[in-house]
Structure formats: C-alpha cells, structure tokens
C-alpha cells in the first residue's frame, strides 16, 4: 500500500426490499419528477447566453498600430509561451514599400491558432512584447470540422475599419495596470488617458 487513502469495501448482502428493485426505481422516478418543478440549470445556448465576466478571455485578435500596420513581428514568443502548443507561424521579411502593412521589418506571413487546442489562458498575450496579440470578449464559433477551428490571419488580424475594442474586458484595475506599464494599444479607445504613453510600441 503506497498511501493510507485506500478504503476496504465490504460486500453487503442486499435486503429483501433492495432485491425487489421497485422501491429504488420509484425513488429515482420521484427525484426526476421533483426536478420538473425546479428552475433549470441549463440554458438554450447559443440562442441564450449568460452574462460573462468583464475579464472573460475569448477569441484572439492580432492588433494593428495607430497607422493600420500589423504589430506582430513573428518573434514566436507567444508560441513558446503557449502551454497548449496551439500557435504556429511562418515569418517573412518586409519589403520596401510595405511599411504601411507591417510595423516591423519581420512579420508573420502565416499566423495560425488552433482553437481546439487553445485553453484561453492568456499566456500568449502576456508574452507578446509588441502588444500584438490579445484575447477578446468574443466567443469562438462552432463548426462541424476540425479544420475550421484553425484560425488564420484572415480571422485573427483586426479590420482596419473596425478595430477591436479591448477596453471592454478590462476592469478599472487592469486598465490602470496597463496604463502604468505604458501600454499603447488602447489609445484609440481610451478617452480619459491618465498617463502619457511612452516609447513601448
Ligand atoms: S490563450 Fe493560452 S492556450 Fe490559447 S493560444 Fe494563447 S497561450 Fe496558447
Ligand atoms: S503575436 Fe507578439 S509574441 Fe507572438 S509572434 Fe507576434 S509579436 Fe511575437
């Protein structure tokens, strides 16, 4: 015996009532019947949804900078930090004239997240030195095939016309913390900025 947690199970003889089974069946049916009048613990998702926490971590976004260029420099730190090995990428070198597309000299030609592997821990967001990847309050859609859960840049990179507002999932404390660290990603949305944004872009 390796631990003292094991228990000896005795084989108790069943009584006559127990051998008849019917009392146990009626007892079970009574429990089922009483549940008909109790408030259901389940909801009809996805038609109905519960209210999520303000810091809910959902579908990722790859952010653009204030000029619309992709922030990600394909450094791979998010992939290294990811405990689920859900992130893969292929880097490429920015060519002259592509400065408006990519912020850094190296960028992610391919960037994919396997949403079936992802556990939405947020480590990729924490690891990113370029404020490029964030989890948002959006839910990942349901699909019928595994392939559709591999999210590429066409889904992950935010649209220039409708940038993703990250302030929605920031509590005042989190927002203050990020401002203190001179994070600039919410500049577009933060009307009441308290500190001047520094050089960490
Ligand atoms: S949220 Fe966590 S599991 Fe999902 S991609 Fe980021 S680091 Fe990986
Ligand atoms: S998202 Fe951030 S950490 Fe990941 S490759 Fe791009 S710049 Fe690096």
Q: How many angstroms separate the alpha carbon of residue 172 from the centre of ligand 2?
A: 26
Cβ of 127 closer than 6 Å to ligand 1, yes or no, is no
Looking at the predicted structure, is the pLDDT value of residue 175 above 70?
A: no
Ligand nearest the Cα of residue 104 is 2
pLDDT in tens, 118-164: 999 999 998 999 999 999 989 899 899 999 999 999 999 999 999 99
pLDDT at position 7: 81
Q: Which ligand is nearest to the CA of 73?
A: 2
What's the pLDDT score for residue 10? 84
Q: Number of H helices and number of E strands within the chain?
A: 6, 5
Residue 53: the pLDDT is 80
Residues with CB under 6 A from ligand 2: 72-78, 89, 108, 127-128, 130, 132-133
Please report the domains of the chain, with CATH numbers, ordered by start residue: 60-164 (3.30.70.3270)
Do residues 86 and 118 lie in contact, with contact meaning Cβ atoms separated by under 8 Å?
Answer: yes
Q: What is the pLDDT of residues 37-78, one digit of tens each?
A: 999 888 998 788 888 887 889 999 999 998 999 999 999 999
The rounded distance, in Å, linking the Cα atoms of 200 and 197 is 8
């Amino acid at each position: 015996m390796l631990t003292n947690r094991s228990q000896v199970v005795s084989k108790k003889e069943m009584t006559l009532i127990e051998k008849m089974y019917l009392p146990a069946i009626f007892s079970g049916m009574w429990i089922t019947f009483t549940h008909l009048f109790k408030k259901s613990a389940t909801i009809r998702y996805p038609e109905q949804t519960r209210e999520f926490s303000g810091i809910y971590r959902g579908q990722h976004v790859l952010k653009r900078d204030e000029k619309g260029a992709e922030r990600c420099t394909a450094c791979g730190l998010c992939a290294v930090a990811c405990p689920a090995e859900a992130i893969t990428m292929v880097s490429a070198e920015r060519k002259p004239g592509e400065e408006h597309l990519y912020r850094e000299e190296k960028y992610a030609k391919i960037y994919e997240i396997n949403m079936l592997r992802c556990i939405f821990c947020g480590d990729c967001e924490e690891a990113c030195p370029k404020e490029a990847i964030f989890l948002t309050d959006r839910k990942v859609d349901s699909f019928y095939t595994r392939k559709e859960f591999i999210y590429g840049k066409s889904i992950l990179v935010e649209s220039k016309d409708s940038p993703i507002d990250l302030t929605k999932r920031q509590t005042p404390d989190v927002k203050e913390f990020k401002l203190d660290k001179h994070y600039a990603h919410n500049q577009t949305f933060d009307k009441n900025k308290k500190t001047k944004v520094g050089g960490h872009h």
